[in-house]
């Protein structure tokens, strides 16, 4: 017993020493968390953009150079660079946060270049956000912007991000507290689907991120195995997916009712739930761009798969051009 206790204490002290050493080395090399993190904790939304981040010069998963500047606002990534006739907000998650490309080269920047006379372009997005966070972010900035159009970018994992049980079942969630809306009673609760070590240890978080990269590069199956530990039967999954879609339905209904002078247009970056998203948007009086992803899939090398499925510089250029074309078709 004594040996086991001594071994346990020694191991804990080793982990503490490793964590302190890791934090010291990172601080000396890259500065504080505010210097280097893309996002920072937020008491209501879970996390938001870090406006105090140092400018970054790095490479994305494709090996392309990326020059990234701090966001000008804790929720607004971009303010207009032109005086277009209508104000448009691009609202979304990591695809709109566009942290795989240089600042000023995201798809909405390309859109702005093509539509300078027609639109004054804003972007409101934070990587990892679910639909509730996106709507709450829009609420926070709506009076400041007063947009004529909101283009809402969706992904297949939005549904998991909308439901705590789905978020909690995967290690690939954002490992941070976030608000969840219960469609049955309308109550919003802040819950944490993350493993406790992510809250405490920067060293563990760093190692886990490297593991994700290795797993993607060499198809090791480790993340699939970890996800399988929290897997659920198909019936339970379908019920939770339906709840996630119900959350989006409630939010679109609220958006259209609360902001009747604003046109809402949705599009998804992938096929998962695309048909369901279209039904929700059009069923609530909003517009939708179906099968948007097909135009991206028709062009090679628009992302960094298998390491990362986010659009690279070429992908953002294609997406911006397609959005320009598709919006021109809307009366």
Q: What is the pLDDT of residues 129-155, one digit of tens each?
A: 999 999 999 999 999 999 999 999 999
Residue 6 has a pLDDT of: 62
Q: Which residues contact 304 (CB under 8 A, 6 or more apart)?
A: 60, 61, 62, 100, 310, 312
Q: Encode pLDDT of 316-327 as tens digits.
A: 999 999 999 999
Give the separation between CA 92 and CA 79, rounded to whole angstroms: 15
Distances, alpha carbon 155 to alpha carbons 117, 144, 186, 260, 287, in Å: 29, 26, 23, 25, 17
Residue 275 has a pLDDT of: 98
Residue 9 has a pLDDT of: 67
31 has pLDDT over 90: no
Residue 7 has a pLDDT of: 65
Q: Which fold has domain 38-328?
A: Rossmann fold (3.40.50)
Give the separation between CA 64 and CA 68, rounded to whole angstroms: 12
For the chain, strand residue ranges (E) read: 39-42, 46-49, 56-59, 65-68, 76-78, 86-92, 119-125, 149-154, 178-181, 188-191, 263-268, 287-288, 303-304, 308-311
Mean pLDDT of the chain: 91
Residue 182 has a pLDDT of: 97
Q: Encode pLDDT of 166-218 as tens digits.
A: 999 887 777 899 999 999 999 999 999 987 777 778 877 778 777 777 777 77
Tell me the average pLDDT across 272-277. 98
The pLDDT > 90 percentage for the chain reads 73
Tell me the average pLDDT across 212-227. 74
303 SS3 class: strand
Residue 172 has a pLDDT of: 73
Residue 204 has a pLDDT of: 75
Residue 32 has a pLDDT of: 80
128 has pLDDT over 70: yes
Q: Which two tokens stand for residue 273?
A: 């739930």
Residue 225 has a pLDDT of: 74
More confident residue, 168 or 27: 168
Residues in the chain: 331
318 SS3 class: helix
Strands of the sheet with 86-92, listed across from one edge: 76-78, 119-125, 86-92, 149-154, 263-268, 287-288
Residue 218 has a pLDDT of: 74
Tell me the average pLDDT across 284-297. 96
User: Is the bond into 247 cis (omega within 30 degrees of 0)?
Assistant: no
Tell me the average pLDDT across 9-36. 73
Q: How confident is the model at residue 1 (pLDDT cuts 50, 70, 90)?
A: low
Can you state the angle between helices 274-283 and 234-258, rounded to 10 degrees?
30
4 has pLDDT over 70: no
Residue 229 has a pLDDT of: 66
Give the separation between CA 320 and CA 55, rounded to whole angstroms: 24
Considering only 23-32, 93-102, 203-212, which range has the smallest mean pLDDT? 23-32
Considering only 42-56, 61-75, 147-161, 219-233, which range has the smallest mean pLDDT? 219-233
């Amino acid at each position: 017993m004594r040996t086991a206790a001594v071994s346990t204490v020694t191991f804990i002290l080793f982990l503490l020493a490793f964590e302190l050493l890791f934090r010291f080395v990172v601080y000396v090399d890259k500065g504080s968390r505010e210097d280097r993190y893309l996002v920072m904790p937020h008491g209501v939304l879970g996390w938001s953009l870090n406006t105090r981040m140092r400018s970054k010069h790095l490479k994305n998963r494709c090996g392309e150079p990326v020059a990234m500047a701090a966001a000008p606002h804790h929720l607004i990534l971009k303010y207009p660079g032109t005086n277009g006739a209508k104000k448009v907000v691009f609202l979304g998650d990591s695809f709109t946060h566009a942290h795989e490309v240089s600042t000023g080269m995201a798809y909405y920047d390309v859109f702005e270049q093509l539509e300078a006379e027609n639109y004054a372009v804003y972007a409101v997005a934070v990587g990892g956000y679910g639909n509730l966070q996106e709507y709450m972010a829009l609420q926070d900035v709506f009076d400041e912007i007063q947009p004529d159009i909101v283009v809402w970018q969706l992904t297949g994992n939005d549904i998991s991000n909308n439901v705590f049980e789905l978020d909690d079942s995967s290690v690939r969630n954002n490992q941070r507290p976030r608000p969840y809306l219960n469609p049955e009673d309308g109550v919003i609760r802040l819950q944490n689907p993350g493993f406790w070590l992510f809250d405490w240890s920067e060293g563990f978080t760093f190692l886990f991120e490297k593991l994700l990269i290795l797993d993607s590069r060499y198809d090791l199956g480790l993340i699939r195995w970890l996800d399988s530990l929290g897997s659920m039967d198909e019936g339970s999954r379908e019920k939770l997916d339906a709840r996630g879609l119900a959350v989006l339905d409630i939010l679109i209904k609220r958006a259209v009712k609360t902001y009747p002078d604003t046109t809402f247009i949705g599009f998804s970056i992938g096929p998962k739930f695309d048909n369901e998203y279209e039904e929700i948007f059009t069923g609530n009086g909003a517009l939708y761009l179906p099968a948007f992803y097909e135009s991206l899939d028709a062009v090679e090398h628009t992302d960094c798969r298998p390491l990362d499925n986010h659009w690279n510089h070429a992908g953002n250029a294609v997406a911006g051009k397609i959005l320009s074309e598709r919006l021109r078709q809307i009366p």
